């Protein structure tokens, strides 16, 4: 490995990249891929820009895994954490509390869908999903329906990677290996608007595909505790966007059958779909809702499981009745994370974040449609809020996918990196999920680089 002299004049025997690979097992990766694409060691960041240790810039158009809501090193969020860190860094959250958590719960109560009034704090998205599943299960036991033990979910759904969350996830990529150790859930065929089996389109259908949910409910509702869905956007499945009508039908069916509706807004929450929450766009309220990712603007790990009064009440009793929700994580309600989340809410209240994002989203849709959709291998541009994705296909007419072994999407991702763009692929879908305050100029740069990368992999 190369020898380098660092700032203090000491000899660095090996590069940071090599030292990384000597000890670090990165997430969501085949480590062998790092032979061809070593880890990019980031030194610092500002706004949408990441700067690596060699001075190369990357435009981060995916909000560093969908969480960096207002750009890197946002001064308002940074200052809020700095102010909190010298006051109270952490305290046990059982029997103890602190002002940042109380203010945050009040702030959340003011913006979440109607009916959600109680907030259970955890420290990552999967943990919030686990809490929601356990709450739903226990709720039915404590309200006289202990036969409701099962969960329903949508095909290609993603809710995290712990054992419970994987059990209600349908993506083979994450779950297949572990099926034997997962609980059995009822998987309902999800809307697939790009390859609609009914020959309809996203904005001109009556959600004919909802028949799969109706069938599953007819067969299994009585034994089902809850259904969990990613509202309006199946993110990890490849930014699959589906109509609000589907959610409205689902809310109605849940009401009729007593199945609880869990909205996993971990990816969609905090303005990602154009509204504060996807459920708001559909004008429905879930019984339980999970949030994380954008909650702290991507600064610190935190999540919240939001519940209705009705669910909360089912747990409220003398200790001896054994109805408490005994579920805890050490870092639940961490004050630094709460301070960051409060700063996020302050930014939403004092800056025109959502109106500006709406203008830029519209602009981006047009630009992407003009620049990328004509390409013979771009099958569709799909979008919701500022999230925009394009799906690569081998045959535009038949929508025939590429052979997955070719890893066409991954190749575009790699080429984009060479061009200084952090774009990411899920299979052959490439997406933008930028900070909500990204500018049109930055979006334009991202689009130019994405197009260049695409043309290198698939010349038009
Ligand atoms: C990211 C995500 C999760 C899991 O969150 P982690 O913090 O990564 O555990 C769950 N559900 C959805 C919809 C997500 O996008």
> For ligand 1, is residue 267 a contact (CB within 6 Å)?
yes
Would you call 192 helix, strand, or coil by DSSP?
A: coil
68 burial via Cβ count (<10 Å: 0-12, 13-18, 19+): buried
Q: How confident is the model at residue 12 (pLDDT cuts 50, 70, 90)?
A: low
> For ligand 1, is residue 69 a contact (CB within 6 Å)?
no
Q: Are 420 and 448 in contact (CB under 8 A)?
A: no
Q: What does DSSP say about strands 4-5 and 233-234: parallel, antiparallel, or unpaired?
A: unpaired
404 burial via Cβ count (<10 Å: 0-12, 13-18, 19+): exposed
Residue ranges with strand state E in 197-352: 224-229, 233-234, 240-241, 260-264, 288-291, 303-308
> For ligand 1, is residue 265 a contact (CB within 6 Å)?
no
Instruction: Check residue 170 and give its pLDDT.
Output: 85
Q: Output the CA 51–ligand 1 centroid distance in Å.
A: 26
How many degrees, rounded to 5, is the angle at CA 176 between CA 173 and CA 181? 135
> For ligand 1, is residue 433 a contact (CB within 6 Å)?
no
**Count of CB atoms within 10 A of residue 249's CB?**
17
> For ligand 1, is residue 266 a contact (CB within 6 Å)?
yes
Q: Is the pLDDT of residue 3 over 50?
A: no
Q: Output the CA 440–ligand 1 centroid distance in Å.
A: 28
Kindly report, residue by residue over 142-183, the tens digit of the pLDDT: 999 999 999 999 999 999 999 999 999 988 888 889 999 999
Q: Percent of the chain scored above 70 by pLDDT? A: 97
Instruction: Check residue 2 and give its pLDDT.
Output: 44
Q: Output the CA 301–ligand 1 centroid distance in Å.
A: 11
Instruction: Check residue 10 and give its pLDDT.
Output: 53
Kindly give the number of the ligand 1 atom that is closest to the alpha carbon of 160: 4
How many degrees, rounded to 5, is the angle at CA 7 between CA 2 and CA 13? 30
* Rounded Cα distance, 265 and 245, in Å: 17
Q: Are 241 and 384 in contact (CB under 8 A)?
A: yes
Q: Output the CA 37–ligand 1 centroid distance in Å.
A: 25
Would you call 380 helix, strand, or coil by DSSP?
A: strand
**Max Cα–Cα distance, the chain, nearest Å:** 71
How many degrees, rounded to 5, is the angle at CA 115 between CA 111 and CA 112? 15
Kindly report, residue by residue over 212-262, the tens digit of the pLDDT: 999 999 999 999 999 999 999 999 999 999 999 999 999 999 999 999 999
| Pocket perturbation via mutation, ligand 1, pick of 125, 290, 291, 337 by most ligand atoms within 8 A of CB | 125
> For ligand 1, is residue 289 a contact (CB within 6 Å)?
no
Q: Cα-atom radius of gyration of the chain, to the nearest Å?
A: 23
Would you call 30 helix, strand, or coil by DSSP?
A: coil
Q: Percent of the chain scored above 90 by pLDDT? A: 94
> For ligand 1, is residue 264 a contact (CB within 6 Å)?
yes
Instruction: Check residue 120 and give its pLDDT.
Output: 98
Angstrom CA distances, 171 to 43, 234, 401, stand at: 34, 11, 17
Kindly report, residue by residue over 37-52, the tens digit of the pLDDT: 999 999 999 999 999 9
* Rounded Cα distance, 264 and 279, in Å: 10
Instruction: Check residue 172 and give its pLDDT.
Output: 85
Q: Output the CA 229–ligand 1 centroid distance in Å.
A: 12
List the residue whose alpha carbon is closest to atom 11 of ligand 1: 159
Residue 121 has phi, psi (to 5 degrees) of -90, 140
What CATH code is assigned to 77-350?
Answer: 3.40.640.10
The count of C-alpha atoms lying within 13 angstroms of the C-alpha of 347, restricted to the half-sphere facing its C-beta, is: 28
Q: Is the pLDDT of residue 9 over 80?
A: no
Would you call 72 helix, strand, or coil by DSSP?
A: strand
> For ligand 1, is residue 129 a contact (CB within 6 Å)?
yes
Q: What does DSSP say about strands 424-426 and 429-432: parallel, antiparallel, or unpaired?
A: antiparallel
> For ligand 1, is residue 157 a contact (CB within 6 Å)?
no
Q: Are 120 and 131 in contact (CB under 8 A)?
A: yes
How many degrees, rounded to 5, is the angle at CA 218 between CA 213 and CA 221? 85
Task: Please measure the distance between the N-terminal and C-terminal CA atoms of the chain and give it in whole angstroms.
Answer: 39
Which one has a higher pLDDT value, 6 or 443?
443
Q: Output the CA 266–ligand 1 centroid distance in Å.
A: 6
Q: Are 453 and 369 in contact (CB under 8 A)?
A: no
Q: Which fold has domain 40-73+352-457?
A: 3.90.1150
* Rounded Cα distance, 27 and 414, in Å: 17
Q: Are 231 and 247 in contact (CB under 8 A)?
A: yes
Q: Which residues pair with 392 in a beta bridge?
A: 378
Q: If you search the block for the tokens 């010349």, which residue do you land on?
A: 459
Instruction: Check residue 174 and give its pLDDT.
Output: 87
* Rounded Cα distance, 201 and 214, in Å: 21
Q: What is the mean pLDDT of residues 259-287?
A: 98
Q: Output the CA 151–ligand 1 centroid distance in Å.
A: 18
Residue 250 tokens read as: 């689902």
Q: Output the CA 263–ligand 1 centroid distance in Å.
A: 12
Mean predicted lDDT score pLDDT of the chain? 96
Q: If you search the block for the tokens 């500006």, which residue do you land on?
A: 356
Would you call 188 helix, strand, or coil by DSSP?
A: strand
* Rounded Cα distance, 61 and 366, in Å: 17
Per-domain boundaries in the chain: 40-73+352-457, 77-350
- For residue 243, give the nearest of 287, 196, 292, 282 by alpha carbon: 282
* Rounded Cα distance, 209 and 243, in Å: 11
Q: Is the C-alpha dihedral spanning 358, 360, 366, 368 positive or negative?
A: negative
| Pocket perturbation via mutation, ligand 1, pick of 129, 266, 270, 300 by most ligand atoms within 8 A of CB | 266
Q: Which residues pair with 11 in a beta bridge?
A: 5
Q: Are 133 and 168 in contact (CB under 8 A)?
A: yes
Kindly report, residue by residue over 321-367, the tens digit of the pLDDT: 999 999 999 999 999 999 999 999 999 999 999 999 999 999 999 99
Residue 5 tokens read as: 């002299």
């Amino acid at each position: 490995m190369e020898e380098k002299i660092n700032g203090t004049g000491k000899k660095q025997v090996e590069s940071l990249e090599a030292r990384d690979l000597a000890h670090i097992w990165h997430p969501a990766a085949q480590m062998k891929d790092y032979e061809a694409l070593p880890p990019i060691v980031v030194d610092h960041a500002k706004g949408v820009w990441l700067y690596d240790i060699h001075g190369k810039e990357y435009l981060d158009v995916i909000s560093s895994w969908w969480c960096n809501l207002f750009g890197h090193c946002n001064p308002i969020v940074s200052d809020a954490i700095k102010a909190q860190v010298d006051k109270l860094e952490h305290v046990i959250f059982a029997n103890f509390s602190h002002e940042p958590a109380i203010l945050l719960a009040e702030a959340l109560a003011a913006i979440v869908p109607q009916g959600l009034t109680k907030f259970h704090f955890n420290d990552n998205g999967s943990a919030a999903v686990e809490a929601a599943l356990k709450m739903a299960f226990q709720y039915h036991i404590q309200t006289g329906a202990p036969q409701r033990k099962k969960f329903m979910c949508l095909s290609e759904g993603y809710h995290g990677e712990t054992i419970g969350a994987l059990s209600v996830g349908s993506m083979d990529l994450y779950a297949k290996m572990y099926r034997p150790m997962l609980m059995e859930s009822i998987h309902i065929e999800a809307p697939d608007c790009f390859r609609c089996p009914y020959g309809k389109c996203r904005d001109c259908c009556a959600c004919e595909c909802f028949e799969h949910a109706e069938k599953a409910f007819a067969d299994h509702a009585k034994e089902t505790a809850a259904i969990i869905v990613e509202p309006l956007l199946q993110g990890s499945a490849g930014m699959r966007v589906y109509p609000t009508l589907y959610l409205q039908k689902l809310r109605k069916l849940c009401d009729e059958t007593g199945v609880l509706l869990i909205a996993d807004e971990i990816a969609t929450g905090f303005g990602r779909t154009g509204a504060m929450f996807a459920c708001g766009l559909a004008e429905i309220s879930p019984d339980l809702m999970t949030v994380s990712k954008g909650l702290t603007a991507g600064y610190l790990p935190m999540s919240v499981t939001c519940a209705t009064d009705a669910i909360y009440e089912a747990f409220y009793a003398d200790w001896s009745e054994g109805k408490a929700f005994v579920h805890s994580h050490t870092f639940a309600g961490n004050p630094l994370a709460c301070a960051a989340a409060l700063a996020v809410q302050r930014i939403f209240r004092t800056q025109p974040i959502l109106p500006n994002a709406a203008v830029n989203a519209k602009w981006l849709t047009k630009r992407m449609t003009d620049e990328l959709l004509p390409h013979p291998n771009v099958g569709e541009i799909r979008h919701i809020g500022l999230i925009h994705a394009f799906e690569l296909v081998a045959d535009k007419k038949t929508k025939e996918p590429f052979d997955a072994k070719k890893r066409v999407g991954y190749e575009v991702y790699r080429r984009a990196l060479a061009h200084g763009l952090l774009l990411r692929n899920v299979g052959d879908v490439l997406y933008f999920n930028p900070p909500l305050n990204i500018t049109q100029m930055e979006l334009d740069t991202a689009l130019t680089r994405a197009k260049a990368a695409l043309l290198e992999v698939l010349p038009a």
